[in-house]
Amino acid sequence: MKYTLVMGASLKPDRYSYLAVSRLVAANHKVSAFGRQQGVIAGIVVETSLEAYQGVDTVTLYLNPKAQKEYYSYICSLQPKRVIFNPGTENPEFYDILKKHAIEVEVACTLVLLATNQY
């Protein structure tokens, strides 16, 4: 079971980040979520402050490149195995930073990876 942190989680059911949290939970993954508004998605509390999560395997991003900048150090400090850049979040500047920290960069869609059993 992979532990995933969803960054940019939205409480709106029509948003891809909301679907990602829901589908990760449905696939029995351990999930934490960070977003602008606190709430609950599929039983997971969306946090609005940065937590010192331990054992994060994957960070999946739903933040545009400009919004990612303030989280570069935080994400690197979690030492995840990989960071997934979902459509619209592509960020070559951050790719370079992650690679320097030996963190795998994956430009993909979390929902597609889950649906095709490639997660």
Please write the tens of the pLDDT for every residue from 23-34.
999 999 999 999
Length of the chain: 119
Q: Provide the pairing of β-strand 30-34 with 3-7.
A: parallel
DSSP result, 78-96: H--SEEEE-TT---HHHHH
Cα–Cα distance, 43 to 108 (Å, whole number): 25
Map residue 103 onto helix, strand or coil: coil
Please write the tens of the pLDDT for every residue from 3-54.
999 999 999 999 999 999 999 999 999 999 999 999 999 999 999 999 999 9
pTM of the model: 0.96
